[in-house]
Amino acid sequence: MSDYAETASAKARALLEESVVSYMGRPVGTVAAMDPGLEALNYDQVFTRDFAISAFAFLLEGRDDIVRNFLEVAVELQSNERQFDCFKPGQGLIPASFKVETHGAGQRLAADFGEHAIARVAPVDSGFWWLLTLQAYGQATGDHTLVRTPPFQEAIRLVLDLSLVTRFDMFPTMLVPDGSFMIDRRMGVYGYPMDIQAQFYAALCAARHLLATDEPDNAPYLAAVEERLGHLAYHLRTYYWMDLGRLNQVYRYGVEEYGPTAANQFNIQPEAIPDWLMDWLPEGGGYFVGNVGPGRMDYRFFAQGNLLASAAGLSTPEQTVALMGLYDTRRADLLGDMPLKLCFPALAGDEWRTLTGCDPKNRPWSYHNGGNWPMLLWLFALVALEAGDQELLETTLHDAGRRLVREDWPEYFDGRAGRLVGRQARRRQTWTAAGYLVARHLLDRPEHAAWLRLGEHVDAAGCST
């Protein structure tokens, strides 16, 4: 490891330790950010999705105590009563965040299920991140006693109850509202966004390994998970994948097709293919589009969904290589000066006004609308190592490390190439430091990537391949 990499890793590690939150004398998580120059808002809370990245860093550093404590707190706070009140969290929901509050000489945990969030959106992804953190804890430590306890087995079943329930839609994908996961501002990603489908797939893989096979109550869950995994994998690999061959197929689609033999299953209009895509998509490159639903294909590239799909084994090995080929060919667009671009291209003009509701935080090339998020480096590292592209990973981390230290670990960067620190970005953002720390560790110790294995390849029948 070079001197600059050692310095960056040391500073990231120090920030991570400084952000630790304790409850009843035990470390239970990390706050989202510690920027002294901006109002805390809810950045002083422990977020489930943010801490997952911190947890991976702690596990790689041998600090499993804080991860175990967090997992236990999440189970304690999980909503476990069946509700018919639309203003209360549904049974099985893991909180988006929690805060340690002091009352006199005592402490208590205050959970937020989205009822206090901007736009009051529920955290669809929190249960999935909890499952992935629990899986990583077992893989890294070899301690499988925690997950076998009755409260943890019940917690897993409750998450599955919430996510596998039959609704009005008849697809294997999960229907979610806009702004209900990491992209927590309106961005026109309602319906079946790739980010959530990839997390859903990874979480189902985790649940299959975490549920005890000798527990009678788990039998129907294991059967349901295996069936859903096969259908979900086939659906996403078939309908969401985009390369030149698939683009030519969509371009020549017939419309208004009826019956089981229809090739254009979702009645996608070829005229809706954006002009930018035809010249942008390189030979040999490919990615999962952002969304597919009735009469609608969202051709935007969303980094987290694509990287999660590859890291979880949802994509085929050939698709993973094609994704990294796209990153290599389109470095300026998808990596930029500060990796990684969350969404490409950005919404602008009338699209921005209509789909974001004129959200100034999501103006073009900012925040979720084309901003650059270095916390994604941990996922990029997993996928690059899986694809054997260690050179691209090394270059990417080299370019990112110095600037992250100089700018004091911002939450996100603005501009087409990510050259500006985000206008409303917090500095000293915990998952930015954790994301870099995980990526750097994996580059130096690639054998530890197995500790963060997020899923596995399955066939259309749900069987491991």
Strands (E), 144-280: 241-242
Backbone region of residue 284 per phi and psi (left: phi > 0; alpha: psi in -120 to 50; beta: other values): left
pLDDT tens per residue across span 252-306: 999 998 988 899 999 999 999 999 999 999 999 999 999 999 999 999 999 999 9
Instruction: Determine the average pLDDT of the residues in 399-405.
Output: 93
Helix (H) and strand (E) counts in the chain: 17, 11
Range from 357-361, 385-389, 461-465 carrying the lowest mean pLDDT:
461-465
Residue 411, classed as helix, strand or coil, is coil
**How much of the chain exceeds pLDDT 90, in percent?**
84
Architecture category of domain 3-452 in CATH: Alpha/alpha barrel (1.50)
Of 82, 320, 308, 77, which is closest to residue 200 (Cα–Cα)? 308
pLDDT tens per residue across span 164-179: 987 788 899 999 999 8
pLDDT tens per residue across span 134-163: 999 999 999 999 999 999 999 999 999 999
Instruction: Determine the average pLDDT of the residues in 333-360.
Output: 96
The pLDDT value given to residue 207: 98
pLDDT category of residue 53 using cuts at 50, 70 and 90: very high
The pLDDT value given to residue 114: 84
Range from 46-55, 98-107, 350-359, 379-388 carrying the lowest mean pLDDT:
98-107
Q: Has residue 461 got a pLDDT over 80?
A: no
Q: Has residue 85 got a pLDDT over 70?
A: no
Crossing angle (nearest 10°) for helices 390-407 and 3-18: 60
Q: How many CA atoms lie within 13 A of 272 on its CB side?
A: 14
Instruction: Determine the average pLDDT of the residues in 385-392.
Output: 91
The pLDDT value given to residue 394: 93
**How much of the chain exceeds pLDDT 70, in percent?**
98
- Measured CA to CA, the distance from residue 197 to residue 213 in angstroms comes to 25
Average per-residue pLDDT for the chain? 94
pLDDT category of residue 332 using cuts at 50, 70 and 90: very high
pLDDT tens per residue across span 188-241: 999 999 999 999 999 999 999 999 999 999 999 999 999 999 999 999 999 999
pLDDT category of residue 87 using cuts at 50, 70 and 90: low
- Measured CA to CA, the distance from residue 7 to residue 46 in angstroms comes to 26
Hey, how many other C-beta atoms are within 10 angstroms of the C-beta on 295?
A: 10
Q: Has residue 83 got a pLDDT over 70?
A: no
The pLDDT value given to residue 168: 80
Q: What is the DSSP letter of 220?
A: H
Q: Has residue 464 got a pLDDT over 80?
A: no
The pLDDT value given to residue 4: 78
Instruction: Determine the average pLDDT of the residues in 333-352.
Output: 97
Instruction: Determine the average pLDDT of the residues in 447-454.
Output: 95
Q: Has residue 462 got a pLDDT over 80?
A: no
Map out the domains of the chain as residue ranges: 3-452
